Amino acid sequence: MNTVIEVSNVSKTFGKGTTLNRVLDNCSLCVNEGEFVSLMGASGSGKSTLLYLIGGLDRDFEGKITLCGEDIGSLKDNKLSKLRLSNIGFVFQFYNLVMNLNVEDNILLPMTVNGKKKSELKKELDEILEITGLTEKRKAMPSTLSGGQQQRVAIARAILGNPSIILADEPTGNLDSKSTAEIMELFSRLNKEKGLTILQVTHSEKCASYGSRTILLDSGKIVGSDDEQPGEVSAEEEPASDTEKAE
């Protein structure tokens, strides 16, 4: 199984001089291709900071982060932008839609600002509107949509371009329970049917239960994972395979 996210001994400090605030302290974690992992922890424990470091949105940290096999600390800015654009879709608590663009133009925006033509994206757009249940709303303006529908537009925007990873920061933090379930079911389908790797920050045990594993952060330290992290088993610890024993 491929490890698509590898965080090794990562620390992050905000501020200068006497006002230093170490918000991440020696964090290590691995996420394998096709996993749906939840990151939980109290408010202020460093979840968003860690997610933004993983997504290459903030490059000022100690330690090492490897994304799809690339050490993001050693990449030039333009290479990192490319890696981000082709491999990662971001979903945030507040949907960050452009209010004077309709649903389909919002979904297409990250691609069209990067020079892609709308006509080239039509087939993929139709498919994504279908998956996210927005076909009927494709010409609607964001202000006419519910919160759950707006978040589905943001998810559609995140998966256009076929990224392998979704990083979501409290994607249902602003939604009622019905819309929350809809969004989690959509994530679950994207994970199972499209093989997308998902790392979501959530406060809700119920949301975390849609994933296969939870990582717990407390005051900047990873204090637990409810499952063994497959990437952490070293070669020496692995038992000899049956065929080796038989020989």
Ligand X SMILES: Nc1ncnc2c1ncn2[C@@H]1O[C@H](COP(=O)(O)OP(=O)(O)O)[C@@H](O)[C@H]1O
CA dist 54 and 61 (Å) reads 11
Comparing CB distances to Mg ion, the nearer of 74 and 94 is 94
Pairing verdict, β 70-71 and 21-32: unpaired
Comparing CB distances to Mg ion, the nearer of 48 and 197 is 48
Q: Which of residues 47-76 bind ligand X (CB under 6 A)?
A: 47-49
Residue 94 makes contact with ligand X by CB under 6 A: no
The CA-based angle 137-139-140, given to 5 degrees, is 60
Site string for ligand X, 23-42 (x = CB under 6 A): x-----------------x-
Comparing CB distances to Mg ion, the nearer of 42 and 233 is 42
CB environment 70-94: b (16+ within 10 A), e (fewer): eebbebeeeebeebbeebbbbbbbe
Comparing CB distances to ligand X, the nearer of 41 and 161 is 41
Residue 66 makes contact with Mg ion by CB under 5 A: no
In DSSP terms, 197 is beta-bridged to 165
**Which of 2, 44, 74, 233 forms a contact with ligand X (CB under 6 A)?**
44
Q: Six-digit token pair at 16?
A: 């200068």
CA dist 168 and 93 (Å) reads 8
Q: Please, what is the minimum distance in Å from the beta carbon of residue 221 to ligand X?
A: 12
Q: Please, what is the minimum distance in Å from the beta carbon of residue 200 to ligand X?
A: 12
Q: How many residues line the site for Mg ion (CB under 5 A)?
A: 1
Residue 191 makes contact with Mg ion by CB under 5 A: no
- For residue 12, the 8-state DSSP code is E
Instruction: Decide which of ligand X, Mg ion, none touches 45; Cβ closer than 5 to 8 Å per partner kind.
Output: ligand X
CA dist 2 and 5 (Å) reads 9
Q: Please, what is the minimum distance in Å from the beta carbon of residue 47 to Mg ion?
A: 5
Query: What SS3 state is found at 201?
Result: strand
- CA torsion through residues 111, 115, 118, 120, sign: negative
Q: Please, what is the minimum distance in Å from the beta carbon of residue 36 to ligand X?
A: 19
Residue 106 makes contact with Mg ion by CB under 5 A: no
Q: What is the DSSP string of 164-183?
A: SEEEEESTTTTS-HHHHHHH
Residue 48 makes contact with Mg ion by CB under 5 A: yes
Q: What residues make contact with ligand X under the rule CB under 6 A?
A: 14, 21, 23, 41, 43-49
Q: What residues make contact with Mg ion under the rule CB under 5 A?
A: 48
